[in-house]
Chains A and B, each alone.
Chain A
């Protein structure tokens, strides 16, 4: 399978990329790591007439200290860099840990943060993590820029809130509140495969209680699935073995929409969601300094 004929420009600057994307509208596609787009071209599921290659834009590849202990990360930062960057490991360990679950080393060497967010695959790790961490995305077009909250950005199956001509250029990751713990768990058939189910959890501890819970699933719906009822249960009833069980059961029963496939039935995925949630909540709470 080979790509159909297409034009190509290696953008020399962000301005050049934006003006080409503005000029060509929905006929053009930005090319980041290519680890999702090139398979789509090979299968001819995507038929752009112009590829605007962002790989020469070194200015979009960075990890910087953001406000109050958070991070600002350029869209062209590779998954392998997120996984290994000491600042990401220190300030956003959930992000670096989850990046290690993406595909295989060869793919992580190319795939980018901006690319996986824009692609909005419900089985992808980093969209889920960005929702759990309440990240914000800077989105630019030829005439200006806007910010989008991760929670609003993933609008449907493989659909992000991005218009033709727009580029996601930066991800702002706020610091986790003090006394917070995190965990990321997923299950795939083999290392690196897209997961049957996965979950990111962030719990904040205040005076022994749970003041804030974030619980978001991958591969169990059309996009990142946030379990608000389970979060609320933990925030109102505290974290104990019993509430962890209850929250996991609630989320697995009524806050995900898995569909069965040849590898895993819907019932099995719900079972996995429950088991993985229990593990994640226990681990996150331990990291927050509590004992369930």
Chain B
């Protein structure tokens, strides 16, 4: 059972740690680095709660080993807001449009939709629904999530 040194930049901050080869990235973030914003629902890639950005691309943290992110850049939900009064525009929109209830799915949905909106600044509803298809929400029925993403896109357009 090999152990490995991992150096990784998360939300702009450098971390270094020694991990077992079998440690999942999701557990590394939550249990070793106390970055508990990344949630874990299924551990087989189905629910999307653990979505983080690896070098800017959304991936499942439960389907990557911690050792595999050595030398890479990660963004987790903690990287979106500097503090409670300075939320990311998508987080603002989720709050304003009631895009969450229990909030369990929210980190994964935010980390999926932040890069989506950067690539698709003017998405239609079908594109938004397609983009969140890999994230399960048991509370909202998705409608308010879609509304929140639309709201964020509208605000971004009118700010430009």
Seen from chain A, the residues whose Cβ lies within 8 Å of a Cβ on chain B are 1-10, 34-35, 38-39, 41-43, 51, 53, 55, 80, 103-107, 109-110, 190-192
Contacts and interface: CB of A to CB of B under 8 A. Distances in A.
Contacts of B112: 105-106
A33 B27 CA distance: 19
5 closest Cβ contacts across the A-B interface?
A104-B134, A8-B21, A5-B1, A191-B133, A39-B44
A6 B64 contact: no
Nearest to B61: A106
A190 B135 CA distance: 11
A111 to B, nearest CB: 9
A106 B48 contact: yes
B67 to A, nearest CB: 6
- Give chain B's interface secondary structure class: mixed
Given A35-B60, A42-B44, A107-B134, 15 more contacts: A1-B44, A4-B22, A5-B20, A6-B22, A10-B68, A35-B63, A39-B44, A39-B63, A42-B43, A51-B65, A80-B57, A105-B134, A106-B48, A106-B58, A106-B60
A43 B44 CA distance: 8
Nearest to B129: A191
21 contacts: A2-B24, A2-B43, A6-B1, A6-B22, A8-B21, A9-B2, A38-B24, A38-B62, A38-B64, A38-B65, A39-B43, A39-B44, A39-B63, A42-B44, A103-B134, A105-B58, A106-B48, A107-B45, A107-B63, A109-B57, A110-B60
Nearest to A4: B22
Interface string B47-76: 010010010011110111101101000000
